[in-house]
A and B are shown apart, each in its own frame.
Chain A
Amino acid sequence: MGSAGSYGVGTGNSGAYMTEIAEPVRFEDEIRSLIQARFDAPPVSGGSFTALLGLSANQAVGLLHEPGAGEVSASAAASSPTGLGHPLGWSPTFPSNAGLAERAGSFPVFAAVDSPASSSDGGPSPPLKAEPSDSDSSPPLPVPIDKPRRRPAKRKDCEKQKAKGPAKKMKTAEEHTEGDQLPYVHVRARRGQATDSHSLAERITGTALVLDEIINHVQSLQRQVEFLSMRLAAVNPTIDFGGLDSFLMAECGPLAASNGRGEVALDPVSWSSDPAPGTGLRTDLRPSQQSSTAWVYPYALINHGTSLFGYGAANSVPLNSNQSKTDL
């Protein structure tokens, strides 16, 4: 069993698993804290690139598009043809620069490639994220332009290291707080850097790096699924479906508590006592899976005796397929 198992195969130890995903989890935490402010949503637990993608799906593409997608910013639409269309020769007109920098600011991964990786609060981020939605007004200008100030210094490091996503996001917040306090005089210098050919090119590779991360993550997840399926295939012949209470009841602690004691007590009893009718039981449960409270009903039915279990496999299969069709 201990073959090719780079993902903790055969260890059966969730600790090993946690260490190997420690980095993406850190990654996710930091992204999530920033996204929280953006969406004003309850924290997403254990989010991966989803949080990142949640922010960037439109803005990333808006950045990628040459003709400005109107959703990113109003000014970007007017200035985009001159903005991204001429990476080598940026037009000296300020509106295009501002629009470009604004759009850059709207994509935090690009705009804040470097900054000391410290914890960010929700405070700096909402004004930061809210700004790209504003039309061409002066307040947004210092913020996105503030970031390129430090960019040339640290960009090389960030380019070499791929897993800089969380650091980038953190720096967004950091630089923003500084941008508020700095006087307007500095704006002009940083604007030039924002639309510099090098900064543009490196901003684009930021997307490539992020996509690379996403691809690696998907590939690693798929590989893990494959290894786990190998493990399960090895275990399958010796399966004992009776002792699966812990597996089925895992992660259900809070929910079970909210639904009442009866559910928790019933489940182990039902599963362990009747492995064969378990299939029938499960298909009965599926039609009533509307909410977690609906679990109470099928479990209540268990108490009424084995009449339900008499359905057997023959009835449960068509029930299952019917339900699947209606679900879809």
Chain B
Amino acid sequence: MISPSSSSASSSRKKKMKRAETKWRTAAQERIYRRRLLEALRATASRAGPRAVKEAADSALALTARGQSQWSRAILLGRCRPRRKLLLKAGGKVRRGRRRPRPAAPVPVAAAAPAGKKVRDRLRVLGRLVPGCRQLSAPSLLEEAADYVAALEMQVKAMRALADALSAASLNAAAAGEAESRVV
């Protein structure tokens, strides 16, 4: 998805950028994500382990993104193979970055020669950090990074609230149980 360098494309991307910024801030999105997160957690109660929890949380986040961003598609495809064709229709190539780490260095075509090796290195590192964005061009990568950061912030907020609420609830339950047993 190499974006053409035209003013119309840039303006549309700016609009998309605005939407990416604000869409993760809405309380509605938070609620949607929180419910999905709860569901995912209930599903993973059998498989105990922080990794399962993290994967569930990330999948819930990618689901909330509704497959509109590259990283969300990459996360979802990383979990489920059968949905690959369906998600490809949503638009965008997806690479199995996690299963097969590419030995070749990425060549972001549109960011051909940012004047500075540091910049190129950092862009590459950023591409590795954001899931599914290793071979993206610089503008798309920055866009994905913006969306990803916004989503991550919401995820951290929700998970923190959930952990606090759950620990408080479990403490209450434990205290209540103790009090009851002592009374009896």
Query: Could you tell me which residues of chain B, from 78 to 106, have a CB within 8 Å of some CB in chain A?
Result: 83, 86-87, 90
Question: Main SS of chain B's interface residues?
Answer: helix
Interface string of B19-49 (1 = CB under 8 A from A): 0111001011011101100110110110011
A265 within 8 A of partner (CB): no
Query: Could you tell me which residues of chain A, from 235 to 286, have a CB within 8 Å of some CB in chain B?
Result: 235-241, 243-244, 246-248, 250-252, 254-255, 279, 282, 285-286
Q: Is the CB of A218 within 8 A of B129?
A: yes
A262 shortest CB reach to chain B, Å: 17
Q: A14-B164, A250-B161 are in contact. List 4 more A-B contacts (CB 8 A).
A: A61-B138, A218-B129, A221-B156, A252-B27
Contact A328/B87 with A49-B145, A66-B113, A247-B162 known, Cβ cut-off 8 Å: yes
A6 within 8 A of partner (CB): no
B71 shortest CB reach to chain A, Å: 11
Closest to B63 in A: A324
Which residue of the partner chain, among A17, A200, A208, A229, contacts B54 with CB atoms under 8 Å?
A229
The complex places the Cα of A251 from the Cα of B165 at a distance, in Å, of: 14
Q: Is the CB of A233 within 8 A of B52?
A: yes
Query: Could you tell me which residues of chain A, from 39 to 85, have a CB within 8 Å of some CB in chain B?
Result: 39, 41-42, 44-51, 53-54, 56-58, 60-61, 64-66, 69-71, 84
A residues with a Cβ closer than 8 A to B are 12, 14, 17, 39, 41-42, 44-51, 53-54, 56-58, 60-61, 64-66, 69-71, 84, 87, 200-201, 204-205, 207-208, 211-212, 214-215, 217-219, 221-222, 224-226, 228-233, 235-241, 243-244, 246-248, 250-252, 254-255, 279, 282, 285-286, 289, 291-292, 320, 324-325, 327-328
A2 shortest CB reach to chain B, Å: 13
Q: Is the CB of B31 within 8 A of A252?
A: yes
Q: Is the CB of A239 within 8 A of B145?
A: no
Which residue of the partner chain, among A42, A61, A255, A282, contacts B39 with CB atoms under 8 Å?
A282
For the complex of A and B, list the 6 residue pairs with the smallest distance between their C-beta atoms, beginning with the closest: A64-B114, A247-B165, A211-B122, A229-B54, A208-B118, A328-B67
The complex places the Cα of A291 from the Cα of B50 at a distance, in Å, of: 33
Q: Is the CB of A48 within 8 A of B115?
A: no
In this complex, the interface size class of chain B, counting residues with CB under 8 Å from chain A, is 35 or more
Q: Is the CB of A255 within 8 A of B170?
A: no
A282 shortest CB reach to chain B, Å: 5
On chain B, the residues within 8 Å of A324 by CB distance are 63
A-B contact pairs, 20 of them (CB 8 A): A48-B153, A51-B21, A53-B17, A54-B18, A57-B14, A65-B113, A69-B5, A208-B116, A208-B119, A211-B122, A221-B149, A229-B159, A233-B52, A235-B167, A239-B45, A240-B166, A244-B166, A327-B66, A328-B76, A328-B90
Q: Is the CB of A239 within 8 A of B170?
A: yes
Which residue of the partner chain, among B42, B83, B145, B146, contacts A241 with CB atoms under 8 Å?
B42
On chain A, the residues within 8 Å of B112 by CB distance are 65-66
Closest to B21 in A: A50
Q: Is the CB of B159 within 8 A of A325?
A: no
The complex places the Cα of A17 from the Cα of B113 at a distance, in Å, of: 39
The complex places the Cα of A186 from the Cα of B76 at a distance, in Å, of: 57
On chain A, the residues within 8 Å of B90 by CB distance are 328
Which residue of the partner chain, among A71, A215, A254, contacts B10 with CB atoms under 8 Å?
A71
Which residue of the partner chain, among B21, B52, B110, contacts A47 with CB atoms under 8 Å?
B21
Q: Is the CB of A222 within 8 A of B13?
A: no
The complex places the Cα of A70 from the Cα of B3 at a distance, in Å, of: 13
On chain A, the residues within 8 Å of B147 by CB distance are 50
Contact A240/B150 with A49-B145, A58-B139, A228-B160 known, Cβ cut-off 8 Å: no
Q: Is the CB of A255 within 8 A of B57?
A: no
A132 shortest CB reach to chain B, Å: 12
On chain B, the residues within 8 Å of A201 by CB distance are 116
B168 within 8 A of partner (CB): yes
Contact A225/B152 with A39-B14, A71-B10 known, Cβ cut-off 8 Å: yes
Q: Is the CB of B25 within 8 A of A240?
A: no
Which residue of the partner chain, among B6, B44, B119, B149, contacts A49 with CB atoms under 8 Å?
B149
